Amino acid sequence: MSEQLEVLQIGPAKSEGDLMDSIIYNTNEIQKLTAIMVKLTQLLLEEKVSYDEFANISLKYDNKLSSSLELRELYNKRIQEDATVNLRELETVLENKELLIVRKNIGDMHEDEYEIKLTALNWDINKMHNSAEYLKKCLNLIKTLPNQIDSSDASYINELSKDEYKTIKKTKLSTECKKRLIKNINAISKILS
């Protein structure tokens, strides 16, 4: 997860694809780990794997899934924050443009100076619009996660959720292992709803 968190710590993406590529990777990772969690849980409940084997195997995947889900939330939060900052900056630039136009209209500015400043402000506005579109695309990628989860896996998770985990609670898994499994089922179920 530390490699994934670097993307969040470097500030603005080095290139437009960096953040988007990271979100796609994260989405694929959650999809893969969800499928593994579902398959392991099915094997456990069908008694095709022992409790000890399940506990040993699932620990690795539970932690990865939890980390991937947390990272998804961090991406979502970062995008929301970046969009808010971008909007504030855009509002300021638009106000500056209005002020510039007024100053030109009242004769407080020469035409050459006006053209230079207007060009710069228009460039800033265009840059901020592009940034807003990019952030919107990134947010849409995050929102597509429920569609990326295999429908049979999603159905199984919903079944377990509706069952209020009675089946899992009845198993002879350790309390800690049950908690991890239920936590991840809850997290995936929340995303799917």
pLDDT tier, 15 (very low <50, low <70, confident <90, very high otherwise): low
pTM: 0.77
The residue that leads in pLDDT, 80 or 171, is 80
Angle at 30 between CA 23 and CA 15, to 5 degrees: 10
Domain positions in the chain: 16-192
Give dist(CA 192, CA 161) in Å, integer.
Answer: 11
Tell me the per-residue pLDDT of 49-60, one tens digit each, with 9 for 90 and over: 988 888 888 888
Q: What pLDDT score does 11 carry?
A: 39
pLDDT mean over 28-39 = 91
How does the average pLDDT of the chain come out, rounded? Answer: 85
The secondary structure of the chain in percent helix, strand, coil, rounded to multiples of 5, reads: 85, 0, 15
